[in-house]
Structure 1
Amino acid sequence: MKKVKVNINKKAQQRLNMIGKEVRLMSSLDHKNILKLHQIYRNKDQNHVYVFLEYAEHGSIETLLNQNTKFSLADKLSIIKQISRALRYLNQKGFVHGDIKPGNILVDTNGRVLLGDFGSAHPIQKEAQDLGSPAYLAPECLEIDDEDFDKEKSHEKEDIWSLGVTFYQLLFNSLPFSGDSVYEINHNIKSNNIIIPSGIPANVKELLLSMLEVNPEKRISVSEILSNPLISRANDSLVNLPTPPKVDAVIEKDIKYVKASECFIDSSLQTYLLRSLKKSRLVLAFEQVGEGIVNFLKSIPHSCI
């Protein structure tokens, strides 16, 4: 569960509008590699918005990398395959994600990869209003004030660049382009100073460079990625993963509800969960992740208990 504190002012209203946009998009998406939105609840008294999301037991790819998880090449290719499938679906729905990076790619207990955080998503034919993380942004996004930048062009290849940066990070545990500012990052990209360490297969290098093509018109498309033999033959799930963290929750079978300590769930939210989510035949699990915050862990049908 994602909890967002909202104060009633102009900035907060903008934040609410952004949350609303993200929620509306996520609620319209249904794909096995896209994080599902289950419910949204706003506590008007405390000015909090609670967004209930599908639980990914392993957390994000970023977290796994920070934990020194060693992904096999097969799993790295599987990540690219699964996210490419999510992007193809998103493009078919007319949208660009806008913030592909390891922190927004999650993994569940079955090795299924899930794309999350749609706060920077925008229609394919429109420029992004909320830019994603600079280190992962495509060069054309870093030059939106350039007179040659065509705002009416299709922008789906922005995500391919970001996925390429993510692929590079998976392969070499570093970023291909970095800098202390957007200007410096853009300068390094334009200088074409990408360093490919030795030791990777030639076909993997070729795929990586095709994703990190500065010219979006020459950059590989998501369909071409999925038809690449490396990707088409890749596994549909990750196979070499560490044991996920344990869920500390108590099942109350009489009400089919799983809860954390009451001090971490305010009474109005708890009432909402019992009345509303129980009706949707979900079993809820929570985990304390910080003061005043609970994390939605998973949902399972009553019949599974």
Structure 2
Amino acid sequence: NQTTGELMAVKQLKIEPTDGQSRAVYLASLEREIDLYKQLRHRHIVGYIAMEQDEANNLLYIFLEYVSGGSIQSMLERFGRFSESLVRIYTRQLLLGLEYLHANKIVHRDIKGGNVLVDADGVVKLADFGASKVNKAFHDPTITDGCKSIRGSVFWMAPEVIKGDGYGRRADIWSVGCTVIEMLTATHPWPGIDNTWTAIFHIAKASSGPPVPADASECAKDFLQQCFNLEARSRPTASQV
């Protein structure tokens, strides 16, 4: 910000209406969601600051809180797998941010190391709401009728999402479990599978969650077992896990 000197991150979006929407309808919908996110204020959520539209180039700029430490994914690439004690600290903070989102009727739909940022003080912040869904009728605690489309990163997706049964808060919990494995192993949660389509078929037919690292503690194994319950309704909420 040239006026205040505040550092900000800038996300650039191409304005591309989908599903036969007019440009005006698409923009109005996008602006409504962004306005909601700008109202979110939580220590573990990346803050939205402002938005500007570049009509000449058909672009939208979203100004966000700057998080200097980068993503968990980038940290894993630089330093390798995390100790379980660090994973526990980061996971607790991630769950606090997710609990806040869910309380505000927002399903993130793309939780993974690349979308979890860490600031200079070691504070975790959940970022990138590009796949998020605001559910205006958040009555069902598991699967929402308004969230049928597949959005997000396949390797971190819950089976019910892959199978097209919908996406609710409990699917975010599955993705948290996948992110824990990512932090413990410095790789995606389904090792040995590198093809997206192979992952889709494998996860849809899986009889259990991703393999848990053999050296994980019993506490970590119990946590992951809860996250990877194949029955979405039986998974804990962000406040329970």
1:206 alignment partner, one of 214, 217, 222: 222
The gaps in structure 2 that reach 5 residues or longer are 1-9, 139-143
Amino acid at match of 1:215: E
Indicate if the aligned counterparts of 1:22 and 1:118 stay in contact, CA closer than 8 A: no
Match of 1:163 in 2: 176
Secondary structure of 1:224's counterpart equals: coil
C-alpha contact 2:184 2:213 (8 A) present in aligned 1:
no
The residue that corresponds to 2:53 in the other structure is 42
TM-score of the pair, normalised by structure 1: 0.64
Does residue 3 (structure 1) correspond to residue 12 (structure 2)? The answer is: yes
Task: Name the CA shift for 1:135/1:17 in 2 (closer, same or farther; >3 Å).
Answer: farther
- Report whether the alignment pairs 1:140 with 2:156: no
Q: Distance in 1 between matches of 2:196 and 2:179?
A: 19
In structure 2, what is the equivalent of residue 223 of structure 1?
Answer: 239
What fraction of aligned residue pairs are identical, expressed as a percent? 28
Number of aligned positions between the proteins:
218
Q: In the TM superposition, what are the counterparts of 1:1-305 in structure 2 within 5 Å?
A: 1-6=10-15, 13=23, 16=27, 19-122=30-133, 123=135, 124=138, 125=144, 126-129=146-149, 131-144=151-164, 149=165, 155-177=168-190, 178=193, 180-182=195-197, 184-188=199-203, 190-192=206-208, 194-225=210-241
Per the normalisation by structure 2, the TM-score is: 0.79
In angstroms, what is the RMSD of aligned CA positions? 2.7
Take 2:130 and 2:32, find their aligned partners in 1: how far apart are those partners? 8
Task: Report the CA distance shift for 1:67/1:23 in structure 2 as closer, same or farther (over 3 A).
Answer: same
What's the secondary structure of 2:160's corresponding residue?
Answer: coil
**Could you give the per-residue CA deviations for residues 122-170 of structure 1, whole angstroms, max 9, x where no partner exists?**
22433244511111111111111xxxx4x6xx81101000111010111
| Structure ranking higher on relative contact order (CA contacts 8 Å, 6+ apart) | 1
Answer with 1 or 2: which has the greater Rg. Answer: 1
Letter aligned with residue 62 of structure 1: Q
State how far apart, in whole Å, the 2-side matches of 1:119 and 1:172 are: 26
Equivalent residue of 1:223, what SS? coil
Structure 1, unpaired ranges of 5+: 226-305
CA contact (8 A) 2:81 2:184 kept: no
Query: Separation in 2 of the partners of 1:130 and 1:24?
Result: 24
